[in-house]
Amino acid sequence: KQEVTQIPAALSVPEGENLVLNCSFTDSAIYNLQWFRQDPGKGLTSLLLIQSSQREQTSGRLNASLDKSSGRSTLYIAASQPGDSATYLCAVGGYGQNFVFGPGTRLSVLP
Amino acid sequence: DGGITQSPKYLFRKEGQNVTLSCEQNLNHDAMYWYRQDPGQGLRLIYYSQIVNDFQKGDIAEGYSVSREKKESFPLTVTSAQKNPTAFYLCASSIEQGRNEKLFFGSGTQLSVL
């Protein structure tokens, strides 16, 4: 059974810093991986969807990488801003299976 | 604008009562999902539906029921058999289930027990 972990559970950084969020999964036979952002009391917004055949995917200041063999994905945020403060969740998709979600990393970017 | 609408935003349940959470989408998606989110935990799948008049249990279906009579609508009922219903409930949709397409989420319903 796929298990997804995210470390650290919470992270505080000063504005302008580049940062990396981590996502680990136990079964490397994945179809794709999705990163989401969640603001307090709100739903999830999809940030990046990276297919198993891809090594990375970029959108603006965000870059997601995927290393299936090691069971890891990272979300890189460049030049962080206070507006980036939110919880970031990763979800792993297996072949013909529903996504399995990690618990998230709560990010605070301090002005 | 296309999207997913969940209502109500807040809901309170008395002991022994059934309550229904609404989820409507106008994205023309075939697949719809219900997730439960507890503090510090990842989302857990309750039920999902691939097409109208068909749905399957997820990982934590006990104490919940759903229907899919219309493509646009996928209501979730939290029954009195669910002994720990306090959580944040999220509805989602995707073009097709099983192909791991991008998921779109509603804004959620916070359910609390009186």
**What are the pLDDT digits (tens) for A57-104?**
999 999 999 999 999 999 999 999 999 999 999 999 988 788 999 999
Contacts of A102 in chain B (CB under 8 A): 42
Instruction: Say what the pLDDT of residue B96 is.
Output: 74
| B104–A46 C-beta distance less than 8 A | yes
Amino acid letter for position A71: G
Q: Which of B44, B100, B107 sits opposite A43 (nearest CB)?
A: B107
Contacts of B44 in chain A (CB under 8 A): 101
Segments of chain B with pLDDT less than 70: 1, 97-100
Instruction: Say what the pLDDT of residue A100 is.
Output: 94
Instruction: Say what the pLDDT of residue A96 is.
Output: 78
Residue (of B39, B41, B23) closest to B112 by Cα position: B39
| A104–B103 C-beta distance less than 8 A | no
Asked if the C-beta of B104 comes within 8 angstroms of chain A's C-beta atoms, the answer is yes
Instruction: Say what the pLDDT of residue B16 is.
Output: 87
Question: What chain A residue is nearest to B57 in terms of C-alpha separation?
Answer: A98
Instruction: Say what the pLDDT of residue A15 is.
Output: 98
Query: Mean per-residue pLDDT for A36-55?
Result: 94
Instruction: Say what the pLDDT of residue A69 is.
Output: 92
Contacts of A43 in chain B (CB under 8 A): 4, 6, 90, 105-108
* Beta-sheet strands, E only, within A3-61: 4-5, 10-14, 19-25, 30-38, 44-51, 56-59
Q: Which of A44, A89, A98 sits opposite B48 (nearest CB)?
A: A98
Question: What chain B residue is nearest to A37 in terms of C-alpha separation?
Answer: B105
Burial class (CB in 10 A: 0-12, 13-18, 19+), B14: exposed
